[in-house]
Structure 1
């Protein structure tokens, strides 16, 4: 049964289980639950920043809470992509189906592992999964191409193209993303994360002043990261965006109110 995903306007839930109960079944995995928990931490940092901002404490840059939340949210998505892909790879490898994703079917194994399989010391599926875990353990997912390449181990779908359809469906086509523009949206979110993490968020050419960041901007970024992750989860699952059980559509009749896109919606 598909259940509507969380509304962007809702406050963060205090418990991870209450969030996952609102999600489509395709995203109800331990890996996605962990992602939501990490987003909750990010939203709480934004809330803490707003509280401190109202108190105006001396010597505390409350915008650092918003910067930390932004970095946390991007990190949560990258970690989820890796863990969810590995979960799916494990399932596909065990099935050993001829319909498994092409990149997984063609994944190279070192000779010593092939010899171990031939000697019966390890199953082929286990050897493949172990090798992939080693290869991706420290792989940085610093751009949409890296995410697509990772997910190609678990699906032959063009994940960003399908995710764009799901984002538009999510907002009742009040947005008009295609693959290129959704990738661009994520690159924008990544670029600010990198400015925070690698450049101390300093203004170009200035070693003292930093780029301003508001609670609203950080909150919108977190919302967008959640929307993108949920759309990628649907693409990974292979559910067509034209399905009647789409995000925002109730499982049992009626019409769900279409959520408003976050302020940074763009196209």
Structure 2
């Protein structure tokens, strides 16, 4: 992890890494078409361009997931002690343990430290890759429902909320297929993936992250 960088900067760094994977896949495709002999790099056992595109796809989804955990927690912690901030209902419903409540009561640990540790424990069970989980996470920090959140995300691209939701869910489902089934279909054939497929996914995840960052300002 790069020291001194904000969570969003680390998110964009991760997307840049995914972008390099796409560039690497495109380069392999060009070498294959040119029949350039680079030894093991172009052997039958060498990585296929599709493999790099799949790696980029999963990297993008993971980057969003990891950043959202950090961003939601940071937003709530930053508002700890702000008497003018009305806590969203989902946040109010979370319950501190007796030990955490006692630490707050005694004042032995700064409130923001206790709240951060509590949220890290609560949110580690969540995976922010598909729309419903992303919505649930954001509703800990924002007074918006799912339709409003995905409308914010879809509007700049002229997508209605339901299409933005479907797009995010499709990306998350393909990530699961890559991670858990090696991207194989029901007939045991690997589903093709192109550089364009991977690039569109990267661009979408970057857009989702940028839009959510704006909502959490």
TM-score bracket relative to the smaller structure: 0.7 to 0.9
The answer as to 2:186 corresponding to 1:204 is: yes
In 2, are the aligned partners of 1:203 and 1:211 still within 8 Å (CA)?
Answer: yes
The answer as to 2:68 corresponding to 1:76 is: no
Structure 1: segments with no counterpart, 5+ residues: 1-28, 238-267
* Secondary structure at 1:93 match in 2: coil
What residue is the counterpart of 1:17 in the other structure? none
1:108 maps to which of 95, 114, 124? 95
Assess, with a 3 A threshold, how the Cα gap between structure 1 residues 182 and 89 changes in structure 2: closer, same or farther.
same
- How many angstroms does 1:126 deviate by? 3.1
What residue is the counterpart of 1:184 in the other structure? 166
What residue is the counterpart of 2:13 in the other structure? 37
- How many angstroms does 1:48 deviate by? 0.5
- How many angstroms does 1:102 deviate by? 3.0
- How many angstroms does 1:35 deviate by? 1.0
In 2, are the aligned partners of 1:157 and 1:235 still within 8 Å (CA)?
Answer: no
Structure 2: distance between partners of 1:162 and 1:115: 36
What residue is the counterpart of 1:86 in the other structure? 73
| 1:120-135 pair list within 5 angstroms | 120-135=107-122
Structure 1: distance between partners of 2:192 and 2:112: 50
Structure 2: segments with no counterpart, 5+ residues: 33-41
Higher helix share: 2
In 1, are the aligned partners of 2:18 and 2:59 still within 8 Å (CA)?
Answer: yes
What residue is the counterpart of 1:240 in the other structure? none
* Secondary structure at 1:176 match in 2: coil
- How many angstroms does 1:46 deviate by? 0.5
- How many angstroms does 1:234 deviate by? 2.5
The answer as to 2:29 corresponding to 1:47 is: no
| 1:1-267 pair list within 5 angstroms | 30-56=6-32, 57-59=42-44, 60=46, 61-158=48-145, 161-168=148-155, 170-171=156-157, 175-178=158-161, 180-206=162-188, 209-237=189-217
Assess, with a 3 A threshold, how the Cα gap between structure 1 residues 160 and 36 changes in structure 2: closer, same or farther.
farther
C-alpha root-mean-square deviation of aligned residues, in Å? Answer: 2.2
Structure 2: distance between partners of 1:216 and 1:91: 39
What residue is the counterpart of 1:254 in the other structure? none
TM-score, normalization: structure 1? 0.69
Structure 2: distance between partners of 1:166 and 1:193: 20
Structure 2: distance between partners of 1:66 and 1:134: 33
- How many angstroms does 1:159 deviate by? 5.4
Structure 1: distance between partners of 2:168 and 2:146: 13
What residue is the counterpart of 2:35 in the other structure? none
